[in-house]
Structure 1
Amino acid sequence: MVTKTGRLLQQKLSTKLCVYFLGLIIGLCAIYHVGVQYDLKQTRQNSTENLEKLHQYFTSELARFTSIPNLVRQNTHMLDLLDNKTSHDLKPLNEYLADIQIASGASDVYVLNEQGWVTASSNWQTPHSYIGSNFAFRKYFYEALEKDSAIDFAVGLRSGARGIYISQVIEQKGEVKGVIVVKVNASHFEDVRDSLDTGHQHSFILMDKSGIVLMSDQEKWRLISTKPLSQTDIAEFDASRQFSGRDINTQPWRFDEQTEQLQISTEGRLAKHFVYAKKPLDSLNASLYLFSAIDDVTANQWSRLALSSVLLLALLIIFEIILVKLAGYKQLLFTQRSLEAQINARSEQLLETQQALLRATKLATIGQLSAGINHEISQPLTAMSAYLASSKRLLLKGQFEKVQENLLLIEALIKRTHTIVAQLKHFSKSQKPKLALHKLKDLFANALIIIGPELKKHDIKLSLELDDIAVWVDPILCEQVIVNLLSNACHAMQDVEVKKLTISNYTDAGQLSIKISDTGTGIESHTLESIFEPFFTTKSGNGLGLGLSISKQIIHSFKGELSAENNSDIGASFILTLQTSIGSEPLSNEKRI
């Protein structure tokens, strides 16, 4: 039996180890994939941002150089030069063009007549001066004659330097007199990467529609073709001498438009991989690319995988510890839920007991006041009996007007009795608290219907001075508190000569305080802290000792306060502090009275 149990445990352990090992492998694969994708995304984002900087620089520089021909063709020396009827000294114009070339940073600025002959040039004093050369075969010349302006990329015939040629026709009285050309060397753009902070891990190229790299910060990529050239392209290059007879080597690059990745294969070396961002440069009919190498992305994942392995192993160990303790936790959870169920059941019982005590306190209060209430009800009933007897006699005598007067008096007495009974019914009913704004005067008026007979019975003088203000309370519960406090005041003044009950209010910091003062015997100082405790009473053999305790709980449920103090002369005061604005939260079961 022991052997069988040992085998089961061993099998369970082996299965668990296999599951953990498989989970570790899957987790590492997922981390590798997510890490590669994240790094590629970051690289693409950086490439796009840096390409935007580079594109803005190209665009702004081309716009700046494009404005130069328009400036030069308006010069007076230029217009005089193109007037064939007179001979002119070229030195002022050449010097002017040299000044423009130096100030703008261009490579060369020169003027061709309508036949394509260079008549003035900024390099007029150099050994490779363009003056006397014919560039009619250049694309930038004949396109400018056709379209008024042109931008072309070519390799210089004399300097052998690659550059961008910006040309614009010169007109005089609507007649084309020649073409002004500005050449900007490619190095002006290729050496700008560091100043633009595009990052050393990035490389850029400017590639035309034929796939030829016109510019690049990598010298080995300049003037290579990224795809095989067609015969049409070769013939066009030869005719325009765009590349001055240079051989364009083909080095196939594999562009993946879907993933925006590039593979460059070099003979005898491992292929290099890049992600790229692309933006067209319409003025040159070419596209600007920014490459970011990603060969290191895979290698960079090993450190991440090593750290992830440690973290995953730690997680698996923690998970195993949790599994070991899970059984005990489940038992603990079951015990906790059982205790919670018992606590909830006891809480419901306590709530029911509290509500029963509240009803008992209400009935006890009504019982204490029953003698005065009975007197208030019996008086109208006795008067009604007398008026009914009188009305019968008056009817027999035919004195109907007096009968009508008696009936009006009986109706008033019935209304008075109905008011007393209705308030008793309202006072004694039980319902869930409903907080709202209620007039303070109305609350005391309703309470005095109940407690009024008791005040008359003991010949207590009442001084009631209340403002016309509303408080945030439940009316039934608040009236119960008022009745209880006024009843206590009556009891405290039973054995004194001066019996006066004063009710007033004052407002402080958005709260209303109501002060109920009597001229009774006061509260003994050692009992002031205990009078609000349950079952504490000063009425020997009369009362449950719950009235003030429940009253304080009721006032707390209104977010108010109930306190007591002795007056400076005679008697005591109870102070009710209530909110005069709407409360922020409903009563929970624990706060309900």
Structure 2
Amino acid sequence: MSENNRLSIKSLYLNSLKKYLFWLYVIVFIVTLLAIWKGGEALKNQQIKALRIDSFEQLNQLASVLESAIAKYQHMPTLLASNDRVKKALRDGFESDINQLNRELEQINRITEASDSYILNTDGLTIAASNYHESASFVGRNFAFRPYFQDAIQGKPGRYYALGTTSNRRGYYFSYPVYEGDSIIGIAVVKVDLTQFEKRFANQHYEFLLLDPDGIVFSSSQPNWLYRVFGELSHVELQRIADSQRYLGKSIEKLAIVYQKPFDEKSQIVDVLENTVLNGTEELQRLSFLRMSRPIRLLDFKISILAPLKTINEEISLWRAIFAGGVTITALLFGLAMLRTRMLRERSDANEMTRHNQAYIREVIQNTQAGLVTLDQNHKIESFNPAVEKLVGQPLAPLVGQPLNVLFQFDKHDEPELSFHDDFLEAANDLGIKVLTREGRLCYSDQTPVPVEMTLCEMQLPNRLSYLVTFHDMTERKRYEQEITQARIELEERVRERTFELEGANTRLRNEIEEHKGTQRELIQTAKLAVLGQLSAGINHELNQPLTAIRAFAGNGLKFLDRGQYEQAHTNLQHISQLGHHMGDIIARFKVFARKGDVHQGPIAVQTAIMGALKIMSPRYKEVDIELVVTEDQDFIVNGDMVFLEQVLVNLLANAADAILEEPNNERRVCIEQTMKENHVVICVQDSGNGLSDDAIKHLFEPFFTSKSSGLGLGLGLSISQRIVEAMGGQISAQNQVNGGAKFCVTLPRFIHHSSLSKTPKEER
């Protein structure tokens, strides 16, 4: 096996080993990270379980304390309702009895530590209260709207929780009816202020929440959590809470819970966003808690404890950081050891590769087809390969130590560029050029010069400066260049000749196009005049009627003037003026229709074009008694030419009339519709004639083809109409209707303003 094959196999083996070790390191690293993460999770779950056990005991203790503290107040309204002084004050209403009752209620509150005690009459009006002497006294206030009053007035014990409308303090209300025999004469109410419980549990290492049946925080160790929803409420539920005036218009918002996951059957992991003040700056922090809840059946409330997980999370993060750091240090030490081993191995391989490369380079230099010459730092020839001797045709051993210009001479056209230097290599050195390419000739002794391309490249060797000169034989290239130059000269001559011929052909073609356009304009004008000839009888009738009326009004006007009836004469002159305008409008419309011209694109109203065509065709339609039906104006604007569009519609209306008159028994009716199809407007002319034959549909738009009776048409109308519509960027089509008759449709592009690109036609109106 050769040295090259052995090195190649060894290189492949090392590359495979490197890839295997790399992926092994990656897998070990990932497995280690997973182990650290899973270990941290296991340790975290173990600590949270211990915290859950402690928190559950604290939750039960907190619930028991709260239940026992509030339970002692639930029978106070019953005791007050049985008090004779309460009944006497409600029954008689003497001021002395009420004053005495106020003092007794105040004393009862002081002894029981209740928030407020007060007595309501059957109308809900407070007649006595423990806070009678305070500015926010309940005396004289009506609480008939409160549910605890409504329950008690029906003979049932009442319970209610709300934000006080007078004291603006949260409390739980107990009520009981005051009986006189079998009749209810009043209501006794005791309010328990929950603030005292918040103060009692405010400095614990956990947060607590007291949630009402709707999930709203009624009491909490965090004041900014009050009136927040620990869940979701519908709009109907929020409206019901607002109507009850339970929270006096407080904004009921959702607690900022960003993460919630069950930990076990009795607890949850909850993350809450909270604004905290650190170093005088308010920051939004994410706080993690273990939440545990249980109901308080006495109040129909639910109490929750939120034990913070910050300490546990910090301990687990520290544990993970320590283990990750240890693994990282171990990996670095292992990597350093592997790197040192690899460096020693690569140094040995590099030395071996250097020896191999040197031998390989020698072989390449000796066998390359390009001539190679090396120069020392003084630009003297040091060595050369056999290819240079092959180019020159004789040995070059005597040239070692000689300057390069003994062997190579550059072309004359390069001399001006380097005329201020005596030597080519000195010019390259002075200009600071690292790679220099020139064309020249190899000439030695009396041999024929060989055209070559010389490339000079600077080689910065470790101990000295050297140059490498490469020579490429350009004999074939020069011959190709001469052939290409001759071919280019011949091609340019042929191009000039062909260009002269094309210019003459283009001139003849432009003349033919102009003649064709003139012929087309004449055909269009001929079609217009043909239509006008067909309409001449109707035009005569349309003008005769106003002329007859004008003569009559003029004669009558003269008689009115003779009699001095100037007002009647003035009226006749007005009629004559109107008839004159009407005749002028008819004549102007036909003058415009008969005008010659080219298609000029622009925005035109479809309805205006239709009405213009109808003014031209109305006399004929009236003459032959054909009904015209025009759909409602849709305010469509198309891109086209008004006069030419009118000509197309006149041709279609004339053809429709001819088709109807071919059969005397046909229904005489023509309908014009305009619809929108994407960004195009479609104008359809439908007649009640006999329709089109299959042969007529195939050749309908061909010049000089007509399906009319002999002598009734030239067969140019539809062909010219098709050219006009296509010149306006549209198309025209024809088809038979299901219920009889033919239908011709003209489709034109809709004109769209930039400001109305997104509007429908109805919106534009």
Q: TM-score, normalised by structure 1?
A: 0.47
Structure having greater relative contact order (Cα 8 Å, sep ≥ 6): 1
* Higher Cα radius of gyration: 2
